[in-house]
Amino acid sequence: MTNSEPMLSFSSLVACARERFVQLSDPRKRVTDDSYPLVDAVTSALAMFHFQDPSLLQFQKALEDSERVSNLSTMFQVSKVPKSSQMRTILDGVSPAEILPVFDDVFRRVDAGKLLHKFRCLSGRYLFLLDASEYFSSKKRSCPGCLKAVQQDGSVRYHHNILQVALANPGFPQVLPITAEEIRQLDGKDKQDCEINAAMRLIPRLVASHPHMDIVIVADGLYSHVPFVQLLRQHGVSFILVAKPGDHVALFEDLKGLREAGAVGRIERTDRKGRRHLYEYCHEVSLRSDAKEKVNWFSYRLINENGEVGYQNTWITDLRVTAQNVEELAEAGRSRWKIENENFNTLKNQGYHIEHNFGHGKTHLSYIMFLLNLLAFTIHQILEVRDVLLQKVYKKIGSRKEMWVQIRALVDLIVFDSWKDLLRFILDKRFRRSFQLTGRWNSFNDRGF
C-alpha cells in the first residue's frame, strides 16, 4: 500500500464529506438537543445512495429490525438517523450552494492522492465534459423551481434538469463528476431557465474552483456559438465543441473557400480491419459571418470495410490542430459520449435510481437528493480505481448489481467495524470464521443463515 492510498480510502472520503456537511447552515428555526443533527441527516442520505437503496422507503425499512443503523454509525459516523419525513423536511431547506463545494473537497483529495494523472491527455490538459439531463418528471408533483412543459393534450409536465461537468480521459474507464448547475425556474423570472444559461453561470464558478488546471471543455453543438466561445476565452478555457454544417452556415462557407485555396490539411490511415480513418483540419475559420470570431476546425470520418460511413463528426477548437495531433483531438471530441454513457446512463440504469423521486419538497429537496446521489457515484468511481478489496469483490461476484444486493443484505444482518471489514467478510472465509468465534455473527445466525 502506498502512502497516497489512504487519502482515497472509503473512510477518508466519507470523513471528507462529513467535514463539509458539518459546516452547513441549519435551515431549521429551532434546534434542540433532541433534534436530529443536520450532519447526520445529510450523511444518512449519502449512506442510502452509497448502498444503492432503490427508494427512501426501502432505506427506512432496512433500518427497522436490522443492523443497518449500527453500520451507519461504524462506517458513516452517524449518531441519529431521522425518519423519512423528517429527513425530507430537514434536507429541503439545505442550500445547494453549501453542498456543492464537497465536490471540490473530494477533487483535492483525488489530486493529492495521485489519481489525477490518469485523466491527463492532450499534452497535460484535462477534458471536462459538459452535458445536461433530466432527473425528475411528474404531472402531479411540483415545486417553485420546477421547469414546465406543456404537452400536446394541454397538460403540464413538471421536471428538473441538471447541467453537469465530468472529468474524463478517452482511454480511462471511469469518469469523475466535478460539479453541477441546476436548470430551474429562477425566482422573479418569467422566462424559463435553459441549458446554455446554466452553462454561462457554471463556467466562472468552475474556473474559480480549478484555477491552475489546463481545462478543455468538450460539449455538443448547442455550445459552439459565439457567446459561449467568447465566455470560455475570457476565462482562459480551451474547448472542443461539435459544429455541424446545418448549424454553422457561415463557418462551412468560409471553410469551402479555404479548401479551394488548399488550406485544409488531410490525413488518412487504414487499420488492420480494413477500415479507413479520414481526418481534415484547418485554422482561422470564421465562426460567424462577421468574421470577428476565428476558430480552428477539424473533422473525422470512419469508413468501414464495406465502404459505408460508420461515424463522422466535425468540431471547432481553439487548440492548434496538426497532422500529429488531429487523431487525438478527434478522440477527445468523441469522448463527449462518456458523460452520457458512463455518467448519466449509469446513474439512471445501474443502481443509482437517479430518476426516482426520493423526495421533492418545496424548495431544494429534489436537487439536494440528486447531489448526494452524485456524490455517492463519485466516491464509487474513485473506489473502483483505488480500493483493491472492492475490485476483488466485484471480480468474485461478477455483477455490480448483484454485488450491491449482497452488500445491502450483509449490512442489514451483521455489524461491521468498517467498510474494509465488510469487503474482507465477503472475500475471506477465515475472516468470516473470526466473526463466529467472537460472537459478532450471532444476529446473522439467529435469522437462520
Structural domain includes residue 67: yes
Residues 364, 317 within the same domain: no
Separation CA 422–CA 399 (nearest Å)? 17
> Among 280, 312, 327, which residue terminates a domain?
327
Q: Is residue 89 part of a domain?
A: yes
What pLDDT sits at residue 1?
Answer: 39
Clarify whether residues 323 and 361 are in a common domain. Answer: no
Any domain includes 31: yes
In a domain, 416, yes or no: yes
Does residue 322 share a domain with residue 386? no
Cell for 360?
421533492
Of 327, 343, 368, which residue is a domain's last? 327
Are residues 316 and 390 located together in one domain of the fold? no
pTM for the model: 0.93
Give residue 31's pLDDT: 83
pLDDT at 190: 67
Residue 386 lies in a domain: yes
Q: Compute how many other C-beta atoms are within 10 angstroms of the C-beta atom of residue 290.
A: 9
311 and 385 co-located in one domain:
no
**Whether residues 368 and 314 fall in one domain:** no
Q: Which domain holds residue 94?
A: 5-99+356-446
Q: Per the domain annotation, does 165 fall within a domain?
A: no
In a domain, 231, yes or no: no
Same domain, 31 and 81: yes
- The confidence score (pLDDT) of residue 433 equals 81
Give per-10-residue mean pLDDT for the chain (449 aa): 69 97 94 88 98 94 87 96 95 97 98 95 97 94 91 93 97 96 78 93 98 97 97 98 95 94 96 95 92 93 92 97 97 94 90 91 95 98 96 94 94 93 93 70 46
Q: Are residues 90 and 11 in the same domain?
A: yes
How many domains is the chain built from?
2
| Residues 323, 362 within the same domain | no
Are residues 94 and 11 part of one domain?
yes
Q: Is residue 110 part of a domain?
A: no
pLDDT in tens, 231-289: 999 999 999 999 999 999 999 999 999 999 999 999 999 999 999 999 999 999 999 88
pLDDT value of position 30: 85
Same domain for 62 and 18, yes or no, is yes
